[in-house]
Amino acid sequence: MTVIIILSFFVLILIISNVRIVSQSNAYVLERIGAYNTTWATGIHVKLPFLDRIAARVTLKEQVADFAPQPVITKDNVTMMIDTVIFLQITDPKLYTYGVINPFNAIENLATTTLRNIIGELELDDTLTSRDMINNRMRLVLDEATDPWGIKVNRVEVRNITPPKSIQEAMEKQMRAERERRESILKAEGEKQSAILVAEGQKASAILKAEAEKAAVILQAEAAKEAAIREAEGEAQAILNVQKATADGLNMLKSVNADDPLIKLKSLEALQKVADGQATKIIIPSEIQNLAGLVTSVAELVKK
């Protein structure tokens, strides 16, 4: 009875020790008598004691392979250091386990040779501006090469490109000169724009001044015209008044039946008024001369 209990306890311990739980995103490669048997996925599994062996525990998560910077030579014989990062994922645990010894070391060497081949076809300026092209070409080459190893290369990123110090100094000088050139262009453009604005302002001011002077001249001309019209109207009215007064005088003489002596006498009075002016010569009509003689004769008669 005791032996049975001991044997049962031993079997229970043996079974428990051969139970394995595979967690999410992991896989176990199982060998039976030294040969590949199966791959355990997520869940509970039991292996045969003394016959089965877990050959590898593989993670299926995406991994990052960060390798040391590699020296490469461009097409124009410039040596630079390039640092790359590779994002990869194990898709087949069996191929990953039996495909190659030390897969990450193999990927690093393959990435180095691929990078040198790509950079060797490019010049320095193209290398500095073609990161996307370098990333895509490396990813395609590495993904194809690592497929028999059960590895998929998802992305390749060129993290840093470090040219020689002399090249960096030359590039800095070139960038400084380019910045100064752009600054000069912007300054010239600003001065040009300022000059244009000043010229447009002066032009607008001159136009407004000319329009104001033109308006002033027009107003003065209209004022002079209006004054001339009013002066002409005043003179015309004065002439009309004189003509009216003359007509009224004639009508009065006509209404009182004035005879010829009276008319001549009135003429003499008018001549007297004319003589009061500044005239130096006075032309006396013959009628008035006769009238003067008549007046003299009348005066003599009165004296007698």
Contacts with 295 (C-beta within 8 Å, 6 or more apart), sequence order: none
Domains of the chain from N-terminus onward: 2-59 (no CATH), 62-163 (3.30.479.30), 259-304 (no CATH)
Q: Two tokens at 55?
A: 């050959």
Contacts with 111 (C-beta within 8 Å, 6 or more apart), sequence order: 67, 70, 84, 86, 138, 142, 156
Measured CA to CA in angstroms, residue 164 lies from 27, 68, 80, 169 at distances of 45, 17, 6, 9
pLDDT of residue 205: 87
pLDDT of residue 27: 95
pLDDT of residue 295: 46
Whether the Cβ atoms of residue 159 and residue 83 lie closer than 8 Å to each other: yes
Whether the Cβ atoms of residue 78 and residue 124 lie closer than 8 Å to each other: yes
Residue ranges, the chain, pLDDT below 70: 1, 249-304
How far apart, in whole angstroms, are the C-alpha atoms of residue 73 and residue 80?
A: 6
How far apart, in whole angstroms, are the C-alpha atoms of residue 269 and residue 83?
A: 133
What is the model's pTM?
Answer: 0.55
How far apart, in whole angstroms, are the C-alpha atoms of residue 38 and residue 130?
A: 45
pLDDT digits (tens, 9 = 90+) for 179-223: 888 888 988 888 888 889 988 888 888 898 888 888 888 888 888
How far apart, in whole angstroms, are the C-alpha atoms of residue 44 and residue 251?
A: 151
* Single-letter amino acid code for the residue at 73: I
